[in-house]
Chain A
């Protein structure tokens, strides 16, 4: 039993749970700090016209007469039993809304990651094939552009240019979920995924390039080249394979960022994902929605990071042994 408790994985899990508890505390207290409460959010300015007794009974109804600590634990208890709250505007529970939005965000994140890897890794291989040469310069220039141009500029520009000259804007109509109309859905995901993927390609390219450069100088690569391994095979099987670890880590981290960081692109292209759900909650002052959705995103983010760590161990047996 003691050996299980000492296992690094067990410690990591405990740490994760504690971190998530901290996240819940932070989210709860942050949103309590905002002026206005559930009553003013529902009734707006009419809340001022309520009598003292009405105020009191409403406060009791929402459980706001209880101490803050008690409120926190009752919220946390609700969240843990699957009750994330209710959105009056949407007329749905936050649980239902999240169940619709989470797959959309996940799909977008996966597609963007695929795009990012497809741009970033070949670009890095091109760069690393001749460091400081013209190819390298080209690769780094593309990487720099991807880092520097904000995704809302790129997104807005792409949207306006394509809809103007090609009269093509799949995102102008209502959003089609993947299960209902896969063809339209993929068209609607195309631009957001390209924009996010292009931004993602830069850190992937940077990491991959330096990892490739490092692996290239090692003795086993020279040996393989001496043995007459074909250059193409050498680059993929010997060099790239051994440089995978940092690439996977970077991709995992970036994938996590996409879960909440895609809000700008989701907003531009009207993709109903989690980020947009938070933003709508903030704009309409529905803090039950914000509170629970942020918690969901942070949890997913932490879990993705944990999985990245595990994947790391699978790819590189040396880490497992340590």
Chain B
């Protein structure tokens, strides 16, 4: 929901080496915590996507409904007797898959459009900026909501809906630097040398945008996780039997509080662990990307 950090400047450091970057990341406490959390989330996602969860996340066991957490069911079971721990793992997998695909698509389309709009100006700039302005005229979640309502829903279309929302941010982020890079001597020199334009764009411009685009990618990843969760919380994410963090967080609400404010007897123990696990998963995902981010670009955040 905070899509406003788009224009922030990234300080240019000395050419970094990969091992030095890792060492610096792991040395700072925030970076270490972030790296561990990212590793946990990715591990959970991989476990789920490989189908190695302790129980089938969709299989129902009516005789074991609404169990409290135990050694058998770590996070308890839900109203259909499905193992909540397995569902959390699968939910993390689903979230991560949607987020990665969405951000990849929007970075690809947005950066390409931004580079072209910045480099060519004139005829390309007009339409690209017009589309960007129109997409920016919606509150992001509302746009995602409307788009998600349009498509037949599965994880890929959700990812596409989220990708469309984030395209304009990548356009803005990449276009600005291109405007100034276009006037630099090394680009002029490349042009004079007769290097084809596509090659100038890919080999000379793009590497100079990498830092900014990567920072934006890490930020967008955490927003995408949250957007996906918000959509499925509202019932517009992946359709029901599929485990999704947002809808898992939504369903227990109807089990907990009856109209008039009294509490249902059976649900609380397992439901509190639900909320806990969801919070853990989404929280970890965002927290970790932000932590990584903070150590990456050297900014206070």
In the assembled complex, A199 has its CB within 8 A of some CB on chain B: yes
Binds A, one of B46-54, B58-66, B138-146, B209-217: B138-146
- With A152-B250, A153-B279, A210-B300 given, name 13 new contacts (CB 8 A): A18-B130, A23-B137, A25-B134, A31-B150, A140-B300, A149-B282, A164-B263, A257-B2, A278-B146, A290-B146, A297-B138, A301-B139, A302-B137
Residue A19 lies at the interface, judged by CB distance under 8 Å to chain B: yes
A159-193, CB < 8 A from B = 159-160, 163-164, 167-169, 172
Residue interface mask B18-32, A partner, CB < 8 A = 1: 000000000000000
Among A236-270, those with CB < 8 Å from B are 250, 253-254, 256-261, 263-264, 267-268
Whether B134 contacts A23 by the Cβ 8 Å rule is yes
Report chain A residues within 8 Å CB of B290. Answer: 144, 147-148
Secondary structure of the A contact surface, majority rule: helix
Specify the main secondary structure of chain B where it touches its partner.
helix
B interface residues, tally (CB under 8 Å): 51
Residues 55 to 104 of chain B near chain A (Cβ within 8 Å): none
Q: Which of A3-11, A82-90, A201-209 contacts B (4 or more CB under 8 A)?
A: A201-209
- Chain B CB within 10 Å, residue with most, of A26, A34, A278: A26
Tell me which residues from 243 to 301 in chain B have a Cβ below 8 Å from any Cβ of chain A: 246, 249-250, 252-253, 256-257, 259-261, 263, 268, 271, 275, 278-279, 282-283, 286-287, 290, 300-301
> In the complex, are the beta carbons of A260 and B141 less than 8 A apart?
yes
Q: Which of B233, B252, B282 contacts A264 (CB 8 A)?
A: B233
Q: Which A residues are in CB contact (< 8 Å) with B139?
A: 256-261, 297-298, 301
A283 to B146, CA, bound (A): 11
Residue B156 CB within 8 A of the other chain:
no
Verify if A22 is at the interface (C-beta below 8 Å from B): yes
Is the Cβ of A159 less than 8 Å from the Cβ of B257?
yes
Contact status A261-B1, CB under 8 Å: yes
Q: How many residues on the A side are at the interface (Cβ–Cβ under 8 A)?
A: 63
**Does B224 interact with chain A (Cβ within 8 Å)?**
no
Q: B133, B147, B283: which contacts A148 (Cβ < 8 A)?
A: B283
CB of B46 to closest CB in A, whole Å: 22
> Whose C-beta in chain B lies nearest to the C-beta of A166?
B261
Q: A19 and B137 in contact (CB under 8 A), knowing A27-B146, A254-B4?
A: yes
- Asked if B239 lies at the interface with its beta carbon under 8 angstroms from chain A, I say no
Contact of A282 among B145, B259, B261, B263 (CB under 8 A): B145
| B121 on the A face (CB < 8 A) | no
Q: Could you tell me the distance in whole angstroms from the C-beta of A75 to the nearest C-beta in chain B? A: 16
